[in-house]
Amino acid sequence: MSGPRVAMLSVHTSPLDQPGTGDAGGMNVYLTSLARALADAGATVDIFTRATRPDAPCVVPLADGVSVRHVHAGPARDLAKAELPQRVGEFTANLMGDDGWVRRAPYDVVHSHYWLSGLAASVASPLWAAPLVHTMHTLAKVKNAALAPGDAPEPCARIRGEETVVGAAHALVANTEAEADDLVRRYGADPGAVHVVAPGVDRAVFHPDAGADDAHPDARHLAAAQARARRALGLDPDELLVLFAGRVQPLKAPDVLVRALAALVEQVGADRALRRPPRVVVLGGPSGDARHVTELAGLARSLGVADLVEIRRPVDPATLARWYRAADVVAVPSRSESFGLVAAEAQACGTPVVAADVGGLRSVVHDGVSGVLVPGHEPAAWARAIGDLLADPARRAALGAGGVRRTGRRGWDAAAQAMLTVYRRARERAARVAA
Protein backbone atom coordinates (compact mmCIF):
# COMPACT_ATOMS: atom_id res chain seq x y z
CA MET A 1 0.00 0.00 0.00
CA SER A 2 1.38 3.40 -0.96
CA GLY A 3 2.02 6.04 1.70
CA PRO A 4 0.22 9.36 2.11
CA ARG A 5 0.55 12.27 -0.27
CA VAL A 6 1.79 15.21 1.79
CA ALA A 7 1.70 18.91 0.92
CA MET A 8 4.20 20.77 3.09
CA LEU A 9 4.09 24.57 3.20
CA SER A 10 7.08 26.73 4.09
CA VAL A 11 6.30 30.30 3.04
CA HIS A 12 9.11 32.31 4.61
CA THR A 13 12.12 30.08 3.99
CA SER A 14 12.99 27.51 1.37
CA PRO A 15 14.36 24.04 2.14
CA LEU A 16 16.90 24.79 -0.59
CA ASP A 17 18.45 27.67 1.41
CA GLN A 18 21.73 27.31 3.32
CA PRO A 19 21.02 26.90 7.06
CA GLY A 20 22.67 29.59 9.14
CA THR A 21 21.97 32.44 6.71
CA GLY A 22 19.02 34.82 6.57
CA ASP A 23 15.94 33.08 7.95
CA ALA A 24 17.30 29.62 7.20
CA GLY A 25 18.13 27.56 10.25
CA GLY A 26 17.06 24.45 12.08
CA MET A 27 13.63 24.55 10.46
CA ASN A 28 15.23 24.12 7.03
CA VAL A 29 17.13 21.06 8.25
CA TYR A 30 13.90 19.79 9.79
CA LEU A 31 11.95 20.20 6.54
CA THR A 32 14.43 18.47 4.26
CA SER A 33 15.29 15.69 6.69
CA LEU A 34 11.70 14.91 7.61
CA ALA A 35 10.55 15.02 3.97
CA ARG A 36 13.29 12.59 2.91
CA ALA A 37 12.51 10.24 5.80
CA LEU A 38 8.78 10.34 4.99
CA ALA A 39 9.58 9.50 1.36
CA ASP A 40 11.78 6.61 2.51
CA ALA A 41 8.75 5.38 4.45
CA GLY A 42 6.61 5.44 1.30
CA ALA A 43 5.10 8.93 1.35
CA THR A 44 5.15 11.44 -1.52
CA VAL A 45 6.00 14.98 -0.40
CA ASP A 46 5.59 18.31 -2.22
CA ILE A 47 7.10 21.30 -0.38
CA PHE A 48 5.60 24.65 -1.43
CA THR A 49 7.72 27.75 -0.78
CA ARG A 50 7.84 31.36 -1.95
CA ALA A 51 9.94 32.01 -5.05
CA THR A 52 12.83 34.37 -4.24
CA ARG A 53 14.32 34.46 -7.76
CA PRO A 54 12.60 35.41 -11.03
CA ASP A 55 14.14 32.38 -12.72
CA ALA A 56 13.27 29.90 -9.97
CA PRO A 57 12.13 26.61 -11.54
CA CYS A 58 8.53 25.68 -10.91
CA VAL A 59 9.63 22.33 -9.50
CA VAL A 60 12.99 21.24 -8.05
CA PRO A 61 13.46 17.54 -7.22
CA LEU A 62 14.95 17.27 -3.72
CA ALA A 63 15.06 13.49 -3.37
CA ASP A 64 13.16 10.45 -4.59
CA GLY A 65 9.56 11.19 -3.67
CA VAL A 66 10.26 14.79 -2.58
CA SER A 67 9.83 17.95 -4.71
CA VAL A 68 10.14 21.65 -3.93
CA ARG A 69 7.50 23.76 -5.73
CA HIS A 70 7.97 27.52 -6.05
CA VAL A 71 4.97 29.81 -5.64
CA HIS A 72 5.22 33.46 -6.71
CA ALA A 73 4.13 35.98 -4.10
CA GLY A 74 5.47 39.50 -4.20
CA PRO A 75 8.83 40.47 -5.66
CA ALA A 76 11.00 37.46 -6.49
CA ARG A 77 13.77 38.32 -4.03
CA ASP A 78 14.54 37.89 -0.37
CA LEU A 79 12.18 39.91 1.80
CA ALA A 80 12.47 40.91 5.43
CA LYS A 81 10.30 38.72 7.62
CA ALA A 82 8.24 41.79 8.58
CA GLU A 83 7.22 42.17 4.93
CA LEU A 84 6.01 38.61 4.52
CA PRO A 85 2.62 38.67 6.32
CA GLN A 86 1.21 40.94 3.62
CA ARG A 87 2.32 38.39 1.00
CA VAL A 88 0.52 35.40 2.54
CA GLY A 89 -2.74 36.20 0.74
CA GLU A 90 -0.98 36.37 -2.61
CA PHE A 91 0.92 33.16 -1.86
CA THR A 92 -2.35 31.41 -1.01
CA ALA A 93 -4.13 32.75 -4.07
CA ASN A 94 -1.34 31.65 -6.41
CA LEU A 95 -1.07 28.31 -4.67
CA MET A 96 -4.79 27.65 -5.12
CA GLY A 97 -5.45 29.80 -8.18
CA ASP A 98 -5.00 27.07 -10.77
CA ASP A 99 -8.28 25.14 -10.66
CA GLY A 100 -6.68 22.37 -12.66
CA TRP A 101 -3.90 22.01 -10.09
CA VAL A 102 -6.46 21.93 -7.28
CA ARG A 103 -8.20 19.03 -9.00
CA ARG A 104 -4.92 17.28 -9.77
CA ALA A 105 -3.57 17.47 -6.23
CA PRO A 106 -5.56 15.17 -3.98
CA TYR A 107 -3.32 15.38 -0.93
CA ASP A 108 -3.97 13.22 2.11
CA VAL A 109 -2.58 15.82 4.52
CA VAL A 110 -1.39 19.44 4.53
CA HIS A 111 1.56 20.00 6.89
CA SER A 112 2.49 23.64 7.43
CA HIS A 113 5.58 25.01 9.15
CA TYR A 114 5.69 28.36 11.00
CA TRP A 115 2.65 30.58 11.44
CA LEU A 116 2.77 32.27 8.01
CA SER A 117 2.52 28.88 6.33
CA GLY A 118 -0.24 27.89 8.73
CA LEU A 119 -2.40 30.79 7.57
CA ALA A 120 -2.01 29.72 3.93
CA ALA A 121 -2.59 26.08 4.85
CA SER A 122 -5.82 26.93 6.68
CA VAL A 123 -7.21 27.92 3.25
CA ALA A 124 -5.59 25.12 1.23
CA SER A 125 -6.61 22.37 3.65
CA PRO A 126 -10.40 22.52 3.07
CA LEU A 127 -10.01 23.12 -0.66
CA TRP A 128 -7.86 20.02 -0.94
CA ALA A 129 -10.18 18.18 1.47
CA ALA A 130 -7.13 17.27 3.51
CA PRO A 131 -6.57 17.67 7.27
CA LEU A 132 -4.25 20.41 8.49
CA VAL A 133 -1.20 19.44 10.55
CA HIS A 134 0.91 22.32 11.80
CA THR A 135 4.36 22.65 13.39
CA MET A 136 5.02 26.07 14.93
CA HIS A 137 8.84 25.74 15.33
CA THR A 138 8.81 28.90 17.44
CA LEU A 139 6.07 30.62 19.43
CA ALA A 140 5.74 34.40 19.62
CA LYS A 141 4.48 34.41 23.21
CA VAL A 142 7.44 32.29 24.32
CA LYS A 143 9.95 34.45 22.42
CA ASN A 144 8.48 37.64 23.87
CA ALA A 145 8.87 36.26 27.37
CA ALA A 146 12.63 35.79 26.83
CA LEU A 147 13.74 38.77 24.72
CA ALA A 148 17.36 39.77 24.49
CA PRO A 149 18.12 43.31 25.71
CA GLY A 150 17.13 45.74 22.99
CA ASP A 151 15.49 43.07 20.83
CA ALA A 152 12.09 43.92 19.33
CA PRO A 153 9.10 41.85 20.50
CA GLU A 154 7.12 39.77 18.05
CA PRO A 155 4.12 41.80 16.81
CA CYS A 156 0.52 41.29 17.85
CA ALA A 157 -0.32 40.29 14.27
CA ARG A 158 1.86 37.23 14.64
CA ILE A 159 0.28 36.26 17.93
CA ARG A 160 -3.20 36.57 16.41
CA GLY A 161 -2.03 34.56 13.41
CA GLU A 162 -0.69 31.79 15.61
CA GLU A 163 -3.94 31.69 17.55
CA THR A 164 -5.84 31.38 14.26
CA VAL A 165 -3.68 28.47 13.14
CA VAL A 166 -4.07 26.71 16.49
CA GLY A 167 -7.83 26.91 16.11
CA ALA A 168 -7.79 25.68 12.50
CA ALA A 169 -5.36 22.74 12.80
CA HIS A 170 -6.56 19.18 13.15
CA ALA A 171 -3.20 18.31 14.71
CA LEU A 172 -0.42 20.41 16.23
CA VAL A 173 3.10 18.99 16.35
CA ALA A 174 5.37 20.05 19.22
CA ASN A 175 9.07 19.25 19.38
CA THR A 176 9.05 18.71 23.14
CA GLU A 177 6.66 18.28 26.05
CA ALA A 178 7.50 21.84 27.10
CA GLU A 179 6.36 23.19 23.73
CA ALA A 180 3.20 21.07 23.92
CA ASP A 181 2.49 22.59 27.33
CA ASP A 182 3.02 26.11 25.91
CA LEU A 183 0.51 25.41 23.12
CA VAL A 184 -2.11 24.36 25.64
CA ARG A 185 -1.43 26.97 28.35
CA ARG A 186 -0.56 30.01 26.25
CA TYR A 187 -2.68 29.39 23.16
CA GLY A 188 -5.62 27.35 24.43
CA ALA A 189 -4.89 24.39 22.15
CA ASP A 190 -6.99 21.26 22.61
CA PRO A 191 -4.67 18.80 24.38
CA GLY A 192 -6.11 16.01 22.25
CA ALA A 193 -4.85 17.75 19.10
CA VAL A 194 -1.27 18.24 20.35
CA HIS A 195 1.33 15.58 19.57
CA VAL A 196 5.01 15.51 20.56
CA VAL A 197 7.38 14.37 17.82
CA ALA A 198 11.06 14.90 18.61
CA PRO A 199 13.19 15.89 15.60
CA GLY A 200 15.87 13.49 14.52
CA VAL A 201 19.57 13.68 13.74
CA ASP A 202 21.10 12.51 10.46
CA ARG A 203 23.25 9.77 11.93
CA ALA A 204 24.95 9.11 8.60
CA VAL A 205 26.51 12.60 8.90
CA PHE A 206 26.55 13.44 12.61
CA HIS A 207 28.44 10.68 14.42
CA PRO A 208 31.64 10.44 16.51
CA ASP A 209 33.76 9.09 13.61
CA ALA A 210 34.93 6.29 15.88
CA GLY A 211 34.44 3.44 13.41
CA ALA A 212 33.10 0.26 14.94
CA ASP A 213 32.92 1.99 18.31
CA ASP A 214 30.64 4.82 17.17
CA ALA A 215 27.88 3.79 19.56
CA HIS A 216 30.18 3.64 22.61
CA PRO A 217 33.25 5.82 22.03
CA ASP A 218 35.73 6.27 24.85
CA ALA A 219 38.14 9.13 25.52
CA ARG A 220 40.78 7.66 23.21
CA HIS A 221 38.37 7.32 20.28
CA LEU A 222 37.00 10.84 20.77
CA ALA A 223 40.49 12.34 20.97
CA ALA A 224 41.51 10.55 17.76
CA ALA A 225 38.36 11.75 15.99
CA GLN A 226 39.03 15.30 17.16
CA ALA A 227 42.58 15.15 15.84
CA ARG A 228 41.36 13.90 12.43
CA ALA A 229 38.75 16.65 12.25
CA ARG A 230 41.28 19.35 13.09
CA ARG A 231 43.70 18.10 10.46
CA ALA A 232 40.92 18.12 7.86
CA LEU A 233 39.96 21.69 8.80
CA GLY A 234 43.55 22.94 9.09
CA LEU A 235 43.21 23.80 12.78
CA ASP A 236 45.81 23.95 15.53
CA PRO A 237 45.81 20.51 17.18
CA ASP A 238 46.56 21.92 20.62
CA GLU A 239 44.29 24.96 20.90
CA LEU A 240 41.14 25.07 23.02
CA LEU A 241 38.15 25.59 20.74
CA VAL A 242 34.59 26.65 21.56
CA LEU A 243 32.10 26.49 18.68
CA PHE A 244 28.89 28.44 18.08
CA ALA A 245 26.85 27.27 15.07
CA GLY A 246 23.76 29.18 14.05
CA ARG A 247 22.36 32.46 12.86
CA VAL A 248 23.89 35.60 14.31
CA GLN A 249 20.93 37.30 15.95
CA PRO A 250 19.98 38.44 19.48
CA LEU A 251 17.71 35.41 20.03
CA LYS A 252 20.68 33.03 19.59
CA ALA A 253 22.77 35.19 21.97
CA PRO A 254 26.29 34.81 20.53
CA ASP A 255 27.09 38.04 22.40
CA VAL A 256 26.80 36.11 25.67
CA LEU A 257 29.54 33.78 24.45
CA VAL A 258 31.84 36.66 23.48
CA ARG A 259 31.33 38.33 26.85
CA ALA A 260 32.01 35.00 28.59
CA LEU A 261 35.24 34.69 26.59
CA ALA A 262 36.36 38.08 27.88
CA ALA A 263 35.68 36.89 31.43
CA LEU A 264 37.66 33.70 30.75
CA VAL A 265 40.65 35.70 29.57
CA GLU A 266 40.65 37.52 32.91
CA GLN A 267 40.40 34.22 34.80
CA VAL A 268 43.33 32.51 33.06
CA GLY A 269 45.94 34.28 35.15
CA ALA A 270 44.20 33.51 38.42
CA ASP A 271 42.96 29.99 37.61
CA ARG A 272 45.80 27.51 37.35
CA ALA A 273 43.47 24.82 35.96
CA LEU A 274 42.81 26.79 32.77
CA ARG A 275 46.25 27.69 31.41
CA ARG A 276 45.17 29.52 28.24
CA PRO A 277 41.99 31.06 26.86
CA PRO A 278 40.05 29.27 24.14
CA ARG A 279 39.34 30.44 20.62
CA VAL A 280 35.68 30.99 19.74
CA VAL A 281 34.54 30.15 16.21
CA VAL A 282 31.12 31.39 15.07
CA LEU A 283 29.71 29.52 12.08
CA GLY A 284 26.76 31.57 10.88
CA GLY A 285 25.56 34.56 8.93
CA PRO A 286 23.27 37.41 9.94
CA SER A 287 19.55 36.91 10.39
CA GLY A 288 17.13 39.80 9.93
CA ASP A 289 19.70 42.58 10.14
CA ALA A 290 23.12 42.29 8.47
CA ARG A 291 24.54 44.56 11.17
CA HIS A 292 24.35 41.76 13.74
CA VAL A 293 27.62 40.24 12.48
CA THR A 294 29.35 43.62 12.44
CA GLU A 295 28.09 44.37 15.93
CA LEU A 296 29.33 41.00 17.23
CA ALA A 297 32.79 41.66 15.79
CA GLY A 298 32.70 45.15 17.29
CA LEU A 299 31.80 43.73 20.69
CA ALA A 300 34.80 41.39 20.53
CA ARG A 301 37.07 44.36 19.72
CA SER A 302 35.65 46.47 22.52
CA LEU A 303 36.27 43.66 25.02
CA GLY A 304 39.81 43.05 23.80
CA VAL A 305 39.18 39.51 22.51
CA ALA A 306 38.97 40.14 18.75
CA ASP A 307 42.05 37.97 18.19
CA LEU A 308 40.25 35.05 19.83
CA VAL A 309 36.93 35.34 17.92
CA GLU A 310 36.55 34.15 14.35
CA ILE A 311 33.28 34.57 12.45
CA ARG A 312 32.95 32.22 9.48
CA ARG A 313 30.26 31.55 6.91
CA PRO A 314 27.91 28.58 7.42
CA VAL A 315 29.07 25.27 6.00
CA ASP A 316 27.54 22.11 4.52
CA PRO A 317 26.46 19.31 6.90
CA ALA A 318 29.54 17.12 6.43
CA THR A 319 31.87 20.04 7.18
CA LEU A 320 29.68 21.09 10.11
CA ALA A 321 30.07 17.60 11.57
CA ARG A 322 33.88 17.98 11.36
CA TRP A 323 33.63 21.30 13.21
CA TYR A 324 31.55 19.67 15.93
CA ARG A 325 34.17 16.93 16.36
CA ALA A 326 37.02 19.45 16.24
CA ALA A 327 35.55 21.57 19.04
CA ASP A 328 36.21 21.00 22.72
CA VAL A 329 32.83 22.49 23.60
CA VAL A 330 29.79 23.54 21.56
CA ALA A 331 27.96 26.50 23.10
CA VAL A 332 24.22 27.10 22.62
CA PRO A 333 23.39 30.25 24.62
CA SER A 334 19.98 30.87 22.97
CA ARG A 335 17.38 32.85 24.89
CA SER A 336 14.62 30.64 23.49
CA GLU A 337 14.65 27.33 21.60
CA SER A 338 11.73 25.08 20.69
CA PHE A 339 14.21 22.21 20.37
CA GLY A 340 17.90 22.91 19.72
CA LEU A 341 19.06 20.90 16.72
CA VAL A 342 22.65 22.17 17.00
CA ALA A 343 22.87 20.72 20.49
CA ALA A 344 21.54 17.35 19.30
CA GLU A 345 23.91 17.22 16.33
CA ALA A 346 26.93 18.17 18.43
CA GLN A 347 26.13 15.50 21.01
CA ALA A 348 25.72 12.92 18.25
CA CYS A 349 29.29 13.80 17.20
CA GLY A 350 30.60 13.17 20.72
CA THR A 351 31.16 16.80 21.75
CA PRO A 352 29.83 18.13 25.06
CA VAL A 353 27.35 21.00 24.90
CA VAL A 354 27.04 24.00 27.19
CA ALA A 355 23.49 25.26 26.68
CA ALA A 356 21.08 27.74 28.14
CA ASP A 357 18.60 26.19 30.53
CA VAL A 358 15.59 27.17 28.39
CA GLY A 359 12.81 25.58 26.35
CA GLY A 360 13.62 22.55 24.25
CA LEU A 361 17.30 22.59 25.23
CA ARG A 362 16.27 21.09 28.56
CA SER A 363 15.03 18.04 26.66
CA VAL A 364 18.04 17.76 24.36
CA VAL A 365 20.89 18.34 26.83
CA HIS A 366 20.92 16.08 29.89
CA ASP A 367 22.71 18.17 32.50
CA GLY A 368 25.75 16.32 33.81
CA VAL A 369 25.32 13.45 31.32
CA SER A 370 25.71 14.96 27.83
CA GLY A 371 26.52 18.55 28.68
CA VAL A 372 25.89 21.44 31.04
CA LEU A 373 22.76 23.59 31.35
CA VAL A 374 23.43 27.16 32.45
CA PRO A 375 20.63 29.08 34.18
CA GLY A 376 20.34 32.60 32.82
CA HIS A 377 22.66 34.47 30.48
CA GLU A 378 25.14 36.14 32.79
CA PRO A 379 28.60 36.05 31.14
CA ALA A 380 30.28 35.17 34.44
CA ALA A 381 28.15 32.04 34.82
CA TRP A 382 28.87 31.05 31.22
CA ALA A 383 32.58 31.65 31.74
CA ARG A 384 32.58 29.34 34.78
CA ALA A 385 30.66 26.58 32.98
CA ILE A 386 32.85 26.68 29.87
CA GLY A 387 36.09 27.20 31.78
CA ASP A 388 35.44 24.26 34.10
CA LEU A 389 34.89 21.97 31.10
CA LEU A 390 37.92 23.22 29.20
CA ALA A 391 40.11 22.58 32.26
CA ASP A 392 38.87 18.98 32.64
CA PRO A 393 39.51 16.76 29.57
CA ALA A 394 38.28 13.64 31.36
CA ARG A 395 34.93 15.25 32.12
CA ARG A 396 34.63 16.46 28.53
CA ALA A 397 35.20 12.93 27.27
CA ALA A 398 32.62 11.50 29.68
CA LEU A 399 30.02 14.06 28.61
CA GLY A 400 30.88 13.50 24.95
CA ALA A 401 30.27 9.76 25.30
CA GLY A 402 27.07 10.49 27.19
CA GLY A 403 25.88 12.68 24.34
CA VAL A 404 26.43 9.88 21.83
CA ARG A 405 24.42 7.48 23.98
CA ARG A 406 21.64 10.04 24.42
CA THR A 407 21.26 10.87 20.72
CA GLY A 408 22.21 7.48 19.28
CA ARG A 409 18.60 6.43 18.68
CA ARG A 410 17.29 9.86 17.65
CA GLY A 411 17.08 9.27 13.88
CA TRP A 412 14.81 10.90 11.31
CA ASP A 413 13.35 7.48 10.46
CA ALA A 414 11.78 7.34 13.93
CA ALA A 415 10.54 10.93 13.59
CA ALA A 416 8.94 10.07 10.24
CA GLN A 417 7.15 7.04 11.65
CA ALA A 418 5.82 9.15 14.52
CA MET A 419 4.69 11.82 12.05
CA LEU A 420 2.83 9.25 9.94
CA THR A 421 0.89 8.37 13.08
CA VAL A 422 0.06 12.05 13.59
CA TYR A 423 -1.14 12.30 9.99
CA ARG A 424 -3.43 9.31 10.52
CA ARG A 425 -4.87 10.79 13.70
CA ALA A 426 -5.38 14.14 11.97
CA ARG A 427 -7.39 12.40 9.23
CA GLU A 428 -9.47 10.65 11.86
CA ARG A 429 -10.08 13.92 13.71
CA ALA A 430 -11.02 15.71 10.48
CA ALA A 431 -13.50 12.94 9.70
CA ARG A 432 -15.10 13.30 13.13
CA VAL A 433 -15.34 17.08 12.70
CA ALA A 434 -16.92 16.66 9.26
CA ALA A 435 -19.40 14.15 10.62
Residues annotated in a binding site for Mg(2+): 324-325, 327, 351
Counting DSSP H helices and E strands in the chain, the numbers are 16, 14
| Annotated binding residues for 1D-myo-inositol 3-phosphate | 12, 23-28, 81, 114, 138, 158
CA 84/CA 82 separation, integer angstroms: 6
How far is residue 185's CA from residue 385's CA, in Å, rounded to a whole number? 32
User: By C-alpha distance, which of 308, 309, 359, 354 is closest to 333?
Assistant: 354
Q: What stretches of 15-168 adopt beta strand conformation (E)?
A: 44-50, 59-63, 66-71, 109-113, 132-135
Burial environment of residue 306 by CB neighbours within 10 A (0 to 12, 13 to 18, 19 or more): middle
Binding residue numbers for UDP-N-acetyl-alpha-D-glucosamine: 18-19, 26, 247, 252, 315, 337, 345
| Contacts by 294-301, CB closer than 8 A, 24 or more apart | 296/248, 296/254, 296/255, 296/258, 299/255, 299/258, 299/259, 300/258, 300/261
Helix (H, G, I), strand (E, B) or coil at 188: coil
Overall residue count recorded for the chain in this entry: 435
- Under 8 Å between Cβ of 84 and 12: yes
Contact by Cβ (8 Å): 254, 281? no
Binding residues: 12, 18-19, 23-28, 81, 114, 138, 158, 247, 252, 315, 324-325, 327, 337, 345, 351
